[in-house]
Amino acid sequence: MKTNQRLFFYCNFVLPRKEWLLVIIVMLFSSYTLSAQEDKTIKGVVKSAKDEMPIPGVNVLVKGTNTVTVTGLDGEYSIKASPKDILVFSYLGYSNQEMIIGNKTQLNIALSDNLNKLDEVVVIGYGTQKKSDLTGSVSVVNMDNAKKTVTYDAAKMLQGQVAGVTMQTSGEPGGFVNIKIRGINSFSNNNPLFVIDGMIVDSPYDFATGEIESMQVLKDASSAAIYGVRGANGVIIITTKKGKAGKFDIKYKSLVGFQNVAKKWDLTDRVGYQNITSAAEVNAGLTIAPGNDPSSPYYINNVDTNWQNAAFKTGIIENHSLTFSGGAESLGYNMNVDYFKNSSYIDSPQDYKRVSTTLNLTGKKGKFKYGSKLGFTQSGKENFNEYNAGESPISDLLGAIPTMPVYDANRLGGYGGTTNLTQRAISMNVIGYNNLITNTGKRNRFIGDIWGEYEIVKGLKYKIDASFDRLDWQNRKFIPPSDLGWYYLTTNDEASLDVSTGSQSRTFLNNLITYEKEIGKHKFDALVGWVQERSDNYNHWSRGVGYTPGEISHLEYADNTSAGEYENTITGVSYLSRLNYAYDDRYLLQANFRQDKTSLFSQKYNKGNFYSFSGAWKISNEKFIHLPEWVSNIKLRGGYGILGNNTIPTYFFATTTNSFAGYDFNNALAPGTTVVSALDPNVHWEETRTTNVALELGLLNNDLQFTAEYYVKKSTDLLIGVPLPFSTGAFPASVTTNAGAVRNNGLEFSATYNNDHNAFKYSISANLGTLNNKVLQIGLDGNPIYGAASKTEVGRSIGEIYAYETAGIFQNAADLAASPTQTNAGVGDVKFKDINGDGMITDLDRTYQGTTIPKYSYGFNFSSSYKNWDFSMFWQGSGGNKVFDGMYRNLMAGQYSNHSIDELNYWTPTNTNTNVPRPIIGDPNANTRDSNRFIEKGDYIKLQTMQIGYDIPLKNISFIQKAKLFVNGQNLLIISKYRGYDPDFNSNDGLFSRGYDGGSFPNPRTFSLGLEVNF
């Protein structure tokens, strides 16, 4: 204190008081100036850690101050701060990042995706919503994981990614995917609704998968009721990439892969085939076919065709895409050109090729937002051919006998075949048949969408959206004269050309009004809308018969021609509404209502009302509940609603009559009218009611998220064919009416853990879904529906396997006599169980052998990255179901077609310790009838994808922002006891005969090399 006083007196003595005060002010100002001089300009670039692309619009804040700036179009920023300051970088969808300035003047930042936060905005029906505010069952697909599945169809990308979503796939190039959400809800169509950028489409078949930005699956009525009559089977919403404000960017991606069949059937060679077939002829009392008899001059010993080796080759899959994006706030654009080609792994021209182009435009001017989407796709597919309807080319391939050559220059067409004289076998040369026949399908698809949204007053917006979707297609099948054997001989008179062309167009006009309002702790948002729809369908077909070898395959060169055409129009109008209410971010309520009206039904029944209610309680936001610090979020939600299904042909309510029918009445022809087809005029919508309740947990700052959900779906008024008396004169003698009901219920679990806090970043996600399906009603009398080795009956699940049970082999005459009566049975034949105990083996002895619908399905994803490297793998599977292996049954028939090597262990008087019956031509005992001999477990776990990537350092290449190489493997490993190619097969109907494998196309193993470059 003394020192300070002396200093004060000294200053006061030297200078007068006024001057002294002036000095003090100058000193303080100088001190402030020196402090200000310590500030410096900090510059840098903010990029995404994921793809190293610059991020415009990032907030850069000096922590604890009001000093803030925003990154420009190139992600660049400039701000003044002192060395002791901390800069905070924040942007929606990314984790905040803080950096101490220190002595740096250049700070480049890489922001990581905010994967574990609940403020992510997801797309729902006709709008968006924060993930944390969802009250319905909406699954958000992780697109980084899904896109590692190399496929032409977006539906295939969902396999194993979402709990409750199951599918059956095919390895055929361009083949379809059979997808179901939470079970089977209909006896006709169970395919979900697809919505792409707000446009309702039947399937995503014609759209490039690389342009998908997000996918959401609406699984319950509380989320899908806004789609009314189309929502019963679930809704899959796909959003493609849009233009964003930023500099002009070019992205190129190229992938080339090789495909092959990883597993083959063990079939007999020439010697084994001749052994079994000769024994079958001897057991039937026949002479041995000359081609199989060593003592015959026609004995075949110089042909031994392994048809799998001959047919299966290396298929090629390739995908190349080029994307241009950029723009400003007033107009952003994203244009993509995508080329996809998949050549068959079977020696035939059955390839699939597609070229897609899309252009997305978005912009904003004041209170007006606008956008449009234009897309054009051209695709072509060579189809595989069936000689008889329902015969699989794979079944024909495996059944082809080894004594038939692939090529034979002496036959018309140059391919081998069989003869009745030598082999007696009706055997299809699949390679020759599919190479000789031209069977092409071409598709041209155009989609256009334009929308505008205007904010009338704050919170009140009006949006108009018009879309047009047109598909033009042409199918052409030419069967030339050829000689593929004594059964597969096509004469000049039988040679044919079938050409069909058609178009489908669909127009939607959506008028939507939305309103958002917050009053204190209350938050409201509402939607009302009016939707108009029109679909036009046209089909023309022509047929020409009679061609000579080498003749031009045009209709005008046919000996005889015929033609026909068909067209229809479907119109509809819908009124929809939704109300969301939230109180204090704790209690959430949502209500949906939609009324649909369509020309598909009669005027009396063409209107349907669909609605849903759902709510959620954010327990973790309650002030009176004190949770541990590691518990970040707890939410309880539930919902109930009614959905519809309008899968019905046009005019299916109007009975068709023939007014020119005559009748012989007292030897005189009297005019009359007769019923051609009887239809129910009261037919109406199918209806599905769903109830679900779920618990959502977020732990460890939401790095770990878990969801458990229980659901019940009950579908009633299902359309089903009910038999009619033949006296009605209708053909077919049945009428489709609303007389079916089914219920699905199950549990779903999903968990995700993300750790991006260290140099080694990784993410783990898993899902599990259970399903119990039960039929409640079939028709008016409850008569069961029979399928391929299956039976659908009230009280059981759809398409359960229904077959005989075996009891061994008849070993001798005494065993045969002591057993229940079995018509035409002999020693060495299969003994079947007498289930009903009536002493006879009849159809009444068949029993249920197991459900064909998997009781559970699951998926597991692991992805990681360290510095420039990344690694991921995806496992998927299902179980609890049975499969009827129809292909194995064919190969164990012991007839003239080829055999499984298991058949070599057939019963003989000296080989009795076996479960394989004697081979016998004609199979009088029906040893190959539907029985548990051919039933197997359908459980499997599959390493669906594995990928390794490397980001190439680009220090000296200024025009390339990022380059990445990756290696991808698909369908790498299957753990299963199933004998066939793959337990994940696409059955013929996916419904009543879901579990029947009659020769499905195997899913190939694929190895791909890819390159991604951002310019």
Measured distance CA(71)–CA(45) in Å, rounded: 8
Residue 997: CB atoms within 10 A of its CB come to 31
Q: What's the pLDDT at 11?
A: 39
Helix (H) or strand (E) holding 877: strand 869-879
Residues 725, 738 contacting (CB under 8 angstroms): no
| Pairing mode of beta strands 109-111, 40-48 | parallel
Q: What is the pLDDT of residues 590-607, one digit of tens each?
A: 999 999 998 887 788 888
3-state secondary structure of 26: helix
Check whether 877 has a pLDDT greater than 90: yes
Q: Are 224 and 177 in contact (CB under 8 A)?
A: no
- pLDDT value, residue 953: 87
CA-to-CA distance for 962 and 968, rounded, in angstroms? Answer: 19
373-385 pLDDT, tens digit per residue, is 999 999 999 999 9
Q: Tokens 């298929």 identify what position? A: 315
Structure tokens given for 68: 């803030």
DSSP one-letter code for 804: B
Which is it for strands 882-885 and 996-997: parallel, antiparallel or unpaired? parallel
Structure tokens at 11: 């200053």
CB environment 333-351: b (16+ within 10 A), e (fewer): bbbbebebbbbbbbbbebb
Whole-number Å distance between alpha carbons of 466 and 462: 14
**598 within 8 A of 646, measured Cβ to Cβ:** yes
- Inform me whether the pLDDT recorded for 116 exceeds 70: no
Q: Count CB neighbours of 32 within 10 A.
A: 10
Pairing of strands 869-879, 856-866: antiparallel
Any alpha helices (H) in 88-191, and if so which ranges?
Answer: 143-146
Q: How far is the C-alpha of 107 from the C-alpha of 87, rounded, in Å?
A: 10
pLDDT, one tens digit per residue, over 951-981 is: 998 877 778 888 999 999 999 999 999 999 9
For residue 24, the model assigns a pLDDT of: 45
Buried b (16+ CB within 10 A) or exposed e, 665-687: eeeeeeeeeebebbbbeebbbbb
CA distance linking residue 835 with residue 216, whole number of Å: 49
| b/e per residue 122-157 (b: at least 16 CB within 10 A) | bbbbbeebebbbbbbbbbebbbebbbbbbbbbbbbb
Spatial distance between the Cα atoms of 645 and 685, rounded to a whole number of angstroms = 6
pLDDT of residue 58: 85
Q: How far is CA 52 from the centre of its chain?
A: 31
pLDDT band of residue 28 (cuts 50, 70, 90) is very low
d(CA 746, CA 856): 9
- CA neighbor of 312 nearest in space, from 343, 338, 288, 353: 343
Within a 13 Å sphere around the CA of 395, how many CA atoms are in the beta-carbon half? 20
Rounded distance between C-alpha atoms, residue 597 and residue 593, angstroms: 14
Confidence band of 748 (pLDDT split at 50, 70, 90) = very high
Q: Are 738 and 755 in contact (CB under 8 A)?
A: no
pLDDT exceeds cutoff 60 at 457: yes
Coil, helix or strand for 158?
helix
Q: Is the peptide bond before 192 cis (omega within 30 degrees of 0)?
A: no
Q: How confident is the model at residue 2 (pLDDT cuts 50, 70, 90)?
A: very low
What pLDDT does residue 525 have? 94
Tally of CB atoms within 10 A around 764: 15
4-18 residue pLDDT tens? 444 333 334 334 454
pLDDT at 190: 87
Q: What is the pLDDT of residues 692-703, one digit of tens each?
A: 999 999 998 888
3-state helix, strand, coil in the chain (%, to 5): 15, 50, 40
Q: Give dist(CA 952, CA 965) in Å, integer.
A: 7
Tokens of 793: 């009956």
Cα angle at 107 between 106 and 112, to 5 degrees?
160
What confidence category does residue 743 fall into, taking pLDDT thresholds of 50, 70 and 90?
very high
Mean pLDDT of 218-229: 89
Q: To which residue do tokens 């058609």 refer?
A: 502
- CA 226, 230, 238, 244 dihedral sign is negative
pTM of the model: 0.85
- The pLDDT tens digits of the residues spanning 34-64 come to 444 467 888 888 888 776 778 877 889 898 8
Contact 997, 980 (CB under 8 A): yes
| 435: three-class secondary structure by DSSP | helix
Residue 988, classed as helix, strand or coil, is: coil
Q: Which amino acid is at 960?
A: I
Q: What is the mean pLDDT of residues 720-734?
A: 61
Reply yes or no on whether the pLDDT at 282 is more than 90: yes
Residue 174 φ then ψ, to 5°: 75, 10
The Cα 874–Cα 945 span in angstroms is 5
Q: 799: closest CA among 760, 758, 847, 853?
A: 853
| Separation in Å, CA 862 to CA 189, 752, 763, 766, 945 | 34, 10, 6, 9, 11
Helix (H, G, I), strand (E, B) or coil at 783: coil
In the chain the first and final C-alpha atoms are separated, in Å, by 69
Written as one string, the DSSP assignment of 266-332 is -B--HHHHHHHHHHHHHHTT-PPPGGG-TTSTT---S----HHHHHB--EEEEEEEEEEEEEETTEE
User: What phi, psi does 351 have (nearest 5°)?
Assistant: -105, 165
Reported as a single tens digit per residue, the pLDDT across 754-784 is 988 888 999 999 999 999 999 999 988 888 9
Q: What is the pLDDT of residue 36?
A: 43
Percent of the chain at pLDDT > 70 equals 90
618 has pLDDT over 90: yes
149 pLDDT above the threshold of 60? yes
- Residue 350 confidence (pLDDT): 87
Q: Which of 395-399, 484-488, 659-663 has the lowest mean pLDDT?
A: 659-663
The answer to whether the CB of 494 falls within 8 A of the CB of 484 is no
Look at residue 467 and tell me whether its pLDDT is greater than 90.
yes
Mutual angle of helices 17-37 and 2-14, in 10-degree steps: 110
User: Which residue matches tokens 């179980």?
Assistant: 879
Supply φ then ψ for residue 326, to 5 degrees: 155, -155
Confidence at residue 64, expressed as pLDDT on a 0 to 100 scale:
82
Q: Specify the higher pLDDT residue, 681 or 424.
A: 424
**CA 231 and chain centroid, separation:** 16
In the predicted model, what is the mean pLDDT of the chain? 88
pLDDT at residue 634 tops 80: yes
d(CA 456, CA 552) in angstroms, rounded, equals 65
Mean pLDDT value of segment 893-903: 97
Residue count of the chain:
1015
Of 154-158, 805-809, 944-948, give the lowest mean pLDDT range. 154-158
Rounded mean pLDDT, 249-275:
95
Whether residue 842 has pLDDT greater than 90: yes
Distance between CA atoms of residues 391 and 887, nearest Å: 11
Token reading at 503: 């178009």
Residue 610, SS3?
strand
The residue type at 72: G
Note whether 124 and 223 are within 8 A (CB): yes
The single-letter code of the amino acid at 726 is F
Helix-then-strand count for the chain, H and E: 10, 52
Tokens 């496992």 label which residue? 875
Position 955 scores a pLDDT of 76
Predicted pLDDT of residue 35: 42
